Amino acid sequence: MKLLAGNSNPTLSQAVAAHLDLPLCRATVKRFADNEVWVTIDENVRGEDVFVLQSTSYPANDNLMELLIIVDALKRASARRITAVTPYFGYARQDRKTGGRTPISAKLVANLITRAGADRVLTMDLHSGQIQGFFDIPTDNLLAAPILAQDIKQNYDKPSDLLIVSPDVGGVVRALQLASRLNADLAIIDKRRSGPGKSEVANIIGDVHGRRCVLFDDLIDGGGTLCNAAQALVDGGAAEVSAYVTHGVLSGAAVERVQNSVLKELVMTDSIDAVERTQGFSKVRYVTCAPLIGEAIRRIANEESVSKLFD
């Protein structure tokens, strides 16, 4: 087995390699003057089981193209099996037609990864589960809920006061899974979206008065949804509100918006490398997903069950 990392998240790649006690495969990933990606695999991979670690986060197109070219280089170098490990799968929000003459970009990206030569995909907390069906190759969708639930247990000493809140109706199943792990109650925010990246709270389904609320979502982009939901919960009588999110996309002024909001803290996994953007902001904290990804890689390499990680 060999691990090969792209440039999207070197810190996470090193942590996964350390967890597996395996050095990263030597490779050179550069850019030509016109920003074309150029890749060279600097060691023999013939007949090897290779795992390519590369989130397709910002800059999404550059990181996606880098992943495709690395996979193509490995295929032409006669790697036995290539697994694209994308902790954050970009374009996942474009998983259906939302109007006339609009694309399903998540399916297009799935086709690109497959056609490039990947034999398997390993990702985490897809925006919607049906994206697994967009791939014509085996796809494992890891759940961050176990590691986030463990962090909540360590930081909330009175589980009876805890209330897990889904920031929209679409995330109810995800939030319910977390609530079940914590034996906590569930509330739902009825959100109305007025345009891309713009939302407002219409109703709160559930009694939040005096409760310590934990908003749980798969990603935070501009931060408007979570911050508006947190304000609505406080206005509804919540004692405090925190947010737990798998992927910290954090575009625009998202970090400043979180810092100036009523949120007690925002806890995210390190699936996306956003440490520089969040430095100096006291409300942002990280939980590493390296052990989860590393263990999944080990199980795939040994032909063991991945789903048992979440039993």
For 244-292, the pLDDT digits (tens) are 999 999 999 999 999 999 999 999 999 999 988 899 999 999 999 999 9
307: exposed, middle or buried (C-beta count within 10 Å: 0-12, 13-18, 19+)?
Answer: exposed
CB 245, CB 254: distance < 8 Å: no
Residue 48, pLDDT score: 98
Is 2-142+291-310 CATH 3.40.50.2020?
Answer: yes
**Whole-number average pLDDT of the chain:** 94
Largest CA distance in the chain: 61
Active-site residue, selected from the candidate residues 75, 153, 191, 308: 191
Residue 193, pLDDT score: 65
Q: Is 191 a catalytic residue?
A: yes
Do the domains spanning 2-142+291-310 and 145-288 agree at the CATH topology level? yes
Domain ranges in the chain are: 2-142+291-310, 145-288
pLDDT digits (tens, 9 = 90+) for 58-73: 999 999 999 999 999 9
Residue 197, pLDDT score: 56
Placement of tokens 């679409």 in the chain: 170
d(CA 51, CA 72): 13
The CATH number given to 145-288 is: 3.40.50.2020
Q: What is the pTM of this model?
A: 0.94
